[in-house]
Amino acid sequence: MASSFKTRAKLEKNHFGYIFIAPFFITYFIFQLVPLIDTFRFAMTDAVAWYLKPNQDISFKGFENFKDVLADPNFRDAFGNTPLMWIMGFIPQIGLALLLASWFTNEKIRVKGQGFFKVIFYMPNIMTATTIGMLFYTFINRNGFIHNFCVSIGYIKDPRYPISSPTFGRSVIAFINFWMWYGQTMIVLIAGIMGINPSFFEAASIDGASGWQTFWKITMPLVRPIMTYSLVTSLIGGFQMFDVPNMFATGSNNSAFSHQITTIVMYIKRVGSTGSMSVSSACAASVYLFIATGICSLVLFWLMSDRAEAKAKRLEKKRAKEAALLEGGDL
């Protein structure tokens, strides 16, 4: 009797859980899932922005938009620029974040003023991307100190000319992304490392492992889930890169390398909200973005998952089953 009462109480508690998480799912459904499905739907039509033609007849076009978008050299360039700039920024970002995180959590070093440094490193993330984009734009434009530096070392012969190297442009964008996000990644990694059982580190130090060995043999394998998380969220954010490069490429901020830093989302915005406002083509480009992000995330998950461990677990389960069978056999 007592035990059945307990189960009932447990069930009801679960019920409350559902109510608590319901708001998220309702909002998700209305504001995310429905528009997501609509994106696929509109990509197959010839729809333009509703406010350009409020009473338009939308007709079905099949996969024509997908073909058009893929044939557009501007789209292909944007599709190349985006992951390139992300990778250029992410490698130093995760590297520095790991280094700082392992220093800050290292019991032997005991960095002083940790809180201060964490705040300083996190700071760029608090500012809006537009502000930072603007700041860096003033550095590299005609009157900025980077431009003046390039002139003084003779990289730019005539000061009237702008910096036009696409590699330079991409590096600036990559640097801004790196600088804005390494603090955030560092905090996440610190949390991951703090979650590792300290007795591992203790055992390692008793066994005489060097700092380098401890890092590679203990810290790295055990923060892998957190690494996967940072990698995948950063990848998604990277594919959707927009605000910073947009500050360098539009309006009165147009740079000589604008085309080489145009990202997929900038392309989507231009197609959907300027000129003939072809929302349907913008949707088709968005679907490509969705697919690319999905595939890359899955590949990353697969690469980062500990396949050896999973195999071992499966093996263990199998053995346990066999053992149970044997036990039953004995009885």
Partner 1 sequence: MNKLKRVLSGTLALALAASMMTACGNDDSSAGGSNSGTQGGGKDESGKTVVKVYTFTDETQGMLDGFLEDNPEFAEKYTFDITLEATASTYQQKTMSALASDDAPDLFLADADYAKKFAALEQTASLADLGITIKDEEYYSYVLDFTTIKGQRMALSHQAAPGVVLYRRDYAEEVLGSGDPAEVQKHMDTWDHFVETAEAMKEKGYYMIAGIDELKRCFMNNRSSAWVNEDTMEYQLDKETVSQFLEVTKKLADEGCTSDVTPVQWNANWYKGMKDGVFCFFGCSWYLHYTIKPNCLAEVSTGKVDPKTGSQEADEKDYKEGNGSFGKWGIIAGPAPYFWGGTWWYGSKKCLEDGTKDAVKQVIEYFCVNDDSLLKVMQKKGDFTSKPAVNEKLTADPESSTYKFLAGQDWYTIFREAAPNIDTKTTCLYDDEFNTAVDNALTNYITNGMSLDDAIAGIATEVKSNLKDVKFPE
**Binding-site ranges for partner 1 (CB under 8 A):** 12, 16, 19-20, 22-23, 26-27, 49-55, 72-75, 134, 138, 141-143, 158, 160-162, 164, 252, 254, 256, 258-259, 267, 270-271, 273-278, 281
Nearest-approach distance from CB 168 to partner 1, in angstroms: 13
Tokens 């190349």 sit on residue = 80
Residue (98 or 264) nearer to partner 1, CB: 264
Residue (92 or 166) nearer to partner 1, CB: 166
Tokens 């703090």 sit on residue = 194
Residue (57 or 207) nearer to partner 1, CB: 57
Nearest-approach distance from CB 203 to partner 1, in angstroms: 43
Residue (19 or 206) nearer to partner 1, CB: 19
Nearest-approach distance from CB 20 to partner 1, in angstroms: 6
Handedness of CA 89, 90, 95, 100 (dihedral sign): positive
Nearest-approach distance from CB 219 to partner 1, in angstroms: 40
Quote the distance between the C-alpha of residue 278 and its chain's center: 28
Residue (210 or 276) nearer to partner 1, CB: 276
Nearest-approach distance from CB 204 to partner 1, in angstroms: 45
Per-residue CA distances from 6 to 9, 16, 19 (Å): 5, 16, 21
Tokens of 301: 């998950």
Alpha helices, H only, the chain:
2-28, 34-43, 64-71, 73-105, 114-126, 129-140, 145-152, 166-194, 198-206, 211-214, 220-222, 224-239, 243-249, 264-273, 279-304, 307-330
For residue 273, the tally of other CB atoms under 10 A from its CB is: 13
Nearest-approach distance from CB 44 to partner 1, in angstroms: 15
Tokens 């309702």 sit on residue = 26
Residue (54 or 113) nearer to partner 1, CB: 54
